[in-house]
């Protein structure tokens, strides 16, 4: 009787195109992952096997995926801006846990924006825009240290609204958006 009064249920909307992609990464299997907050999805393109899929999180997609990273075991790390956490997926795409979720469901991060992984050490670097710092964790999610503090200008290690982060060759590159610069630090934060 509900169908007669309200009409049939709208079919579930499917995401088949990119809406507003914000980040891209690859794994050792040559799959391409695209964070798409506008579609509330992470697109997975497997060109070798001619497959396309959406990454699912225990029955649902990440709400607002904005940044991605892959570790040496092809685990995918997805920053979800809505939950302020990093969702972790194994190499098969199965959700395996969170980084930054405290007991009681609260998030350790205030506004995570960028993530990168040092494949030689396994250390995970997450920029937290509103805390004006980069947080370093080990591959189990335990806090190692924090880099930076709020700063308005030209001093090393002072950030204003840091965004994307990248590790390459023992150096950490941080987009220091509020100071209109890119800071290059060693992986210890110097």
pLDDT tens digits, one per residue of 15-74: 678 899 999 999 999 999 999 999 999 999 999 999 999 987 665 567 899 999 999 999
Q: Tell me the pLDDT of the chain averaged across its residues.
A: 87
pLDDT tens digits, one per residue of 166-188: 999 999 999 999 999 999 999 98
What band does 14 get if pLDDT is binned at 50, 70 and 90? low
Does residue 3 carry a pLDDT above 60?
no
Contacts by 165-171, CB closer than 8 A, 24 or more apart: 165/114, 165/115, 165/116, 165/125, 165/126, 165/127, 165/134, 166/116, 167/116, 167/117, 167/118, 167/125
- Mean per-residue pLDDT, 7-15: 53
pTM for this model (two decimals): 0.87
Q: Which positions ≥6 away from 138 have C-beta within 8 Å?
A: 122, 123, 124, 144
């Amino acid at each position: 009787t509900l169908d007669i009064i309200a009409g049939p249920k709208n079919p579930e909307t499917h995401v088949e195109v990119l809406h507003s992609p914000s980040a891209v990464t690859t794994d050792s299997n040559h799959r391409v992952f695209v964070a798409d907050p506008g579609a509330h999805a992470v697109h997975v393109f497997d060109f070798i096997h001619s497959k396309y899929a959406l990454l699912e999180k225990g029955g649902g997609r990440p709400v607002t995926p904005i940044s991605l990273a892959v570790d040496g075991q092809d685990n995918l790390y997805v920053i979800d801006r809505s939950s302020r956490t990093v969702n972790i997926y194994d190499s098969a795409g199965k959700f395996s846990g969170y980084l930054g979720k405290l007991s009681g469901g609260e998030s350790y991060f205030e506004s995570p924006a960028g993530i990168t992984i040092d494949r030689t050490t396994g250390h995970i670097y997450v920029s937290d825009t509103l805390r004006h710092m980069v947080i370093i964790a080990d591959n189990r999610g335990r806090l190692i240290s924090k880099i930076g503090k709020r700063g308005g200008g030209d001093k090393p290690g002072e950030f204003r609204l840091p965004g994307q982060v990248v590790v390459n060759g023992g150096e950490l590159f941080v987009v220091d958006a509020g100071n209109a610069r890119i800071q290059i630090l060693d992986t210890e934060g110097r």
